Chain A
């Protein structure tokens, strides 16, 4: 196997009195689909938040393609090619799909100091295409995100992440609150990431989902990695035992 795309080295995180990450080290390889499993409070969200720039580690480092990465804000993570789809939904319900697709990265016609006039036509056109690319069928890019179902919203979030050509896509509990059909679609999508040269990190409570679409499973408990195996070399029972 080639060199890791993300190397996590000895990551520590404390929350006043709680040692949430106790020296976590993990290598993630290009184009693999990694399933991250653990109970509530096991530290998976903390680990993901550090990778996506929402929180900062107290100790340890993250290397992206061998280079030390300084991820201080979500913007830093995006610029390194890490897109995150959060369980609480990273969409603004009172805004249209087209506007949501480009929040924080609006294409501008002219700008002074980063503030300028948005290219609304281009935003509409590109969001229609991005949504069609992930096999989602929506009537109009002007519909409010608040009017979409949970699955459609997740679809738009995925379309956004794909549109910005991410190298690594983190999906944080993307199947929560989704119907059976919508869940199937998300799982199919995680499987298809490999063909598009995207590395996927799939966080879930649900072992079956992880075993259906990942190459490798990493289990966390009490702030440490307790199991790290290829899907073919382990079983749901084994993972359940270590948690």
Chain B
């Protein structure tokens, strides 16, 4: 028992998981059972993938010891590029590739500039936040282009599954989450990411190509953000240049709530997803509990600080438990 307790106290995503259970129970009671009914779950699970995908990328990048503030802008730029390409007559799949390529290029630039000129990634990606957002507005011409009618929306936004509970985007999200989680825990690449973020001099001395690992993480983060933005645009039906504003900080909050350390080396993909779920649950739960919606940001802020404090406390408790693991 002691041993189990110690193992679980040491898991960084534990605090987030416990909170989720508590909040779901509270919201379920406060909303008189509406919170967990089919319609509400369908609504929540339909929105979750968009932020969840961004959170996966940001979490992996943070484990690698870097930071990306430009994800919210890439979230808007990628679908805008796609929409303009399609307006010019390009079919869906090539336009998707062009969009992802633009996202990957931004990720590459973020990583390359950060490493080549040894700038904190906070600065590089802050700059990129403005650049990508501005590009989005400029290429839209101030007026969002119309999406063609024959888009394969079924592939991303159609409702599927038992009780048509899920959107297709949720299937994409679960698949990508599983792959990302396995890559981080089971492959040598995951090992390199963790080593690079955990202690850079050691990773370098052991011959890991740390610059390439970091750039790969930046690119992955941007691609996931762009992909998530496209899903949102297909759901909304129009590429608004303002989508994703503030998303970068929510994604960081999700990662931190899930136990990822800003200093790198610590965290899990599951934790980041848990953080994203928590943010969605709070957003939705507050509305259903008839609390003034302006309290949402207050709740996210409190939760972020609380999660970090709770994790530190659990870790201290774990060290005090005298049991061999």
Contacts A106-B191, A118-B188 given: A90-B205 contact, CB under 8 Å?
A: yes
Task: Kindly state whether residue A117 has any CB partner on chain B within 8 Å.
Answer: yes
B198 touches A118 (CB 8 A): no
Enumerate 14 A-B pairs (CB-CB under 8 Å) in ascending A order: A53-B207, A84-B205, A88-B201, A89-B202, A90-B201, A94-B266, A99-B191, A99-B195, A104-B207, A115-B189, A118-B188, A139-B325, A140-B324, A142-B325
B207 touches A74 (CB 8 A): yes
- Chain B nearest CB from A123 CB (Å) reads 10
Range for the number of chain B residues in contact with chain A: 20 to 34
Q: How far is the CA of A208 from the CA of B205 in the complex (A)?
A: 28
Kindly supply a per-residue 1/0 record for chain B positions 84-110, scoring 1 wherever the CB is within 8 Å of any chain A CB and 0 otherwise: 000000000000000000000000000
A139 touches B324 (CB 8 A): yes
A103 touches B203 (CB 8 A): yes
Kindly supply a per-residue 1/0 record for chain A positions 79-101, scoring 1 wherever the CB is within 8 Å of any chain B CB and 0 otherwise: 00000101011111111000100
Task: Kindly state whether residue A78 has any CB partner on chain B within 8 Å.
Answer: yes
A91 touches B207 (CB 8 A): no
Checking B188, B203, B324 against A92 with a beta-carbon cut-off of 8 angstroms, the contacting residue is B203
**Nearest opposing residue in chain A for B199, CB measure:** A92
Beyond the given pairs A54-B204, A90-B205, 14 more chain A to chain B contacts, judged by CB atoms under 8 angstroms and listed by A's residue number, are A54-B205, A74-B204, A91-B199, A92-B194, A93-B199, A103-B195, A103-B208, A104-B192, A104-B195, A104-B207, A106-B188, A106-B191, A114-B188, A140-B325
User: Tally of A-B residue pairs with Cβ under 8 A?
Assistant: 84
Task: Kindly state whether residue A116 has any CB partner on chain B within 8 Å.
Answer: yes
Q: What residues of A have a CB within 8 angstroms of the CB of B116 in the complex?
A: none
Q: What residues of B have a CB within 8 angstroms of the CB of A92 in the complex?
A: 194-195, 198-199, 202-203, 265
Q: What residues of B have a CB within 8 angstroms of the CB of A118 in the complex?
A: 186-188, 191
Kindly supply a per-residue 1/0 record for chain B positions 281-295, scoring 1 wherever the CB is within 8 Å of any chain A CB and 0 otherwise: 000000000000000
Task: Kindly state whether residue B206 has any CB partner on chain A within 8 Å.
Answer: yes
Checking A84, A93, A105 against B198 with a beta-carbon cut-off of 8 angstroms, the contacting residue is A93
B207 touches A78 (CB 8 A): yes
Kindly supply a per-residue 1/0 record for chain B positions 176-215, scoring 1 wherever the CB is within 8 Å of any chain A CB and 0 otherwise: 0000000000111101101100110111111110000000
Q: How far is the CA of A142 from the CA of B205 in the complex (A)?
A: 22
Q: How far is the CA of A169 from the CA of B200 in the complex (A)?
A: 22
Q: How far is the CA of A78 from the CA of B205 in the complex (A)?
A: 10
A91 touches B187 (CB 8 A): no
Q: What residues of A have a CB within 8 angstroms of the CB of B324 in the complex?
A: 139-140
- Chain A nearest CB from B219 CB (Å) reads 14
Q: How far is the CA of A118 from the CA of B195 in the complex (A)?
A: 15
- Chain A nearest CB from B156 CB (Å) reads 28
Q: How far is the CA of A90 from the CA of B206 in the complex (A)?
A: 7
B188 touches A86 (CB 8 A): no
